[in-house]
Amino acid sequence: MENIPRVSVIIPSFNRFDLIPETIKSVQAQTITDWELLIVDDGSTDATREVVRSYAELDSRIRFMERSHQPKGPSSCRNIGIAAARAPYCIFLDSDDLLAPNCLIGRLAVAHAEPNIALHVFQMQFFYSQPGDTDRLFMYADANDALGSILLKGSPWGITCPLWQTNVCRNLNGFDEKLQSWEDWDLHIRAFVAGCTYKIHPVVDCFCRQGLVSLTSQHKSTAHLLQKIDLYIRLSQLFDQHKLAAVYKTRLAGKCLALCGELNEAGQRDEADKAWTRFGNEGVLTTRERDVGRIYLHLRKTVFTNQVGVLTKLLRKAFSALTSTDFAWGY
């Protein structure tokens, strides 16, 4: 009879032949043995597939798969992993990040002790060459209101921080495959809106590599900015459907304001104007937010063009005085 693993570790991979062996070894070094590792390749053009296959041939707990449908991207790969997972719990691990040896046993212990918690969240520490070379943590969430903090600060924690109940991911329909960034931010918001419970544990058990590709510059590209328009509208409709407190819609409006500001600064002023109009028409904004925001964006565009720093600061202060802090924070 085939043994059922207790936890599935899901890794999307793309052109990481040089780093993924270290990631795989960090899973193999776990203090428990009843895990499965699902590695889903996203069309690598280097030796990644051959490297992963060589590990899978020697360790039956490692399953190698290839993305079988469009679109390309880590979300599609993770969803393939979710569908194939055999364990009741799952963890998402990027192909250049690492698990501490006690990660899985520690997470399963708390999951078994508190099985009604949908997400048990652990601390993730950044590193450059090896774990421990910096003490910075990837954890920005409010222990009492993760939804509120995610709308203010962005991703509440690293993608590897939560231990998920696999069926919860499936019930949420996994990651939005249309998104090339912010896909974990979106998944967490949908989980919190759906009422998923979470608990933050003050234990570092995974590590996020730094110093490779700048995700900040990638996320600020025009293509990545434009995809947020539909995302914010969809989330606004979700908030309305679940009748969430008004503060969450206000904070989402702040995200819309920040997005239009970023489009302005990227030289996409027509796109910023169209996006703000659409946010107003789709009910994401209140009438006051729409009108005051339009004035602010127009003035801010002029100030940015003239690069007058003092006026920018004065304008931001004046705008904050006219609106709520939750709306004005984002720009």
Residues 204 and 89 in one domain: yes
Residues 155 and 190 in one domain: yes
Q: Is residue 1 part of a domain?
A: no
Report pLDDT for 217: 44
CA–CA distance, 81 with 9 (Å, rounded to integer): 9
CA–CA distance, 214 with 318 (Å, rounded to integer): 33
Supply the pTM of this predicted model. Answer: 0.89
Report pLDDT for 220: 67
CA–CA distance, 295 with 161 (Å, rounded to integer): 40
Q: Is residue 194 part of a domain?
A: yes
Can you spell out the DSSP letters for 232-277? HHHHHHHHHHTT--HHHHHHHHHHHHHHHHHHHHTT-HHHHHHHHH
The dihedral of CA 157, 160, 166, 172: what is its sign? positive
Range 135-138, long-range pairs (CB < 8 A, 24+ positions)? 137/204, 138/208
Residues 260 and 242 in one domain: yes
Token pair of 66, please? 């290839």
Q: How many CB atoms lie within 10 A of CB 288?
A: 12
Q: State the DSSP code for 36.
A: E
| Beta partners for residue 199, in sequence order | 120
Q: What residue type is 183 in one-letter code?
A: E
Residues 203 and 306 in one domain: no
Among 212, 227, 242, residue at a domain's last position: 212
Report pLDDT for 215: 43
Q: Is residue 88 part of a domain?
A: yes
Residues 73 and 178 in one domain: yes
Residues 170 and 291 in one domain: no
Residues spanned by the domain of 304: 217-328
Q: What is the pLDDT tens value at each position of the chain, 331 positions in all?
A: 468 999 999 999 999 999 999 999 999 999 999 999 999 999 999 999 999 999 999 999 999 999 999 999 999 999 999 999 999 999 999 999 999 999 999 999 999 999 999 999 999 999 999 999 999 998 777 778 889 988 987 888 999 999 999 999 999 999 999 998 899 999 999 999 999 999 999 999 999 999 865 444 455 688 889 999 999 999 999 999 999 999 999 999 999 999 998 998 888 989 999 999 999 999 999 999 999 888 888 776 665 555 545 555 655 565 555 555 565 544 4
Provide the CATH number for the domain around residue 132: 3.90.550.10
Residues 15 and 159 in one domain: yes
Q: Are strands 119-127 and 162-165 parallel, antiparallel or unpaired?
A: antiparallel
Q: Is residue 2 part of a domain?
A: no
Q: How many CB atoms lie within 10 A of CB 215?
A: 10
Residues 44 and 154 in one domain: yes
- Domain count within the chain: 2
Q: Is residue 143 part of a domain?
A: yes
CA separation (Å) from 152 to 94, 146, 202?
A: 25, 10, 22
Residues 160 and 293 in one domain: no
Q: State the DSSP code for 157.
A: B
Among 168, 189, 212, residue at a domain's last position: 212
Among 156, 190, 212, residue at a domain's last position: 212
Residues 142 and 270 in one domain: no
Residue 259: name the closest of 170, 154, 176, 121 by CA: 154
Q: Is residue 117 part of a domain?
A: yes
Residues 102 and 202 in one domain: yes
Residues 139 and 196 in one domain: yes
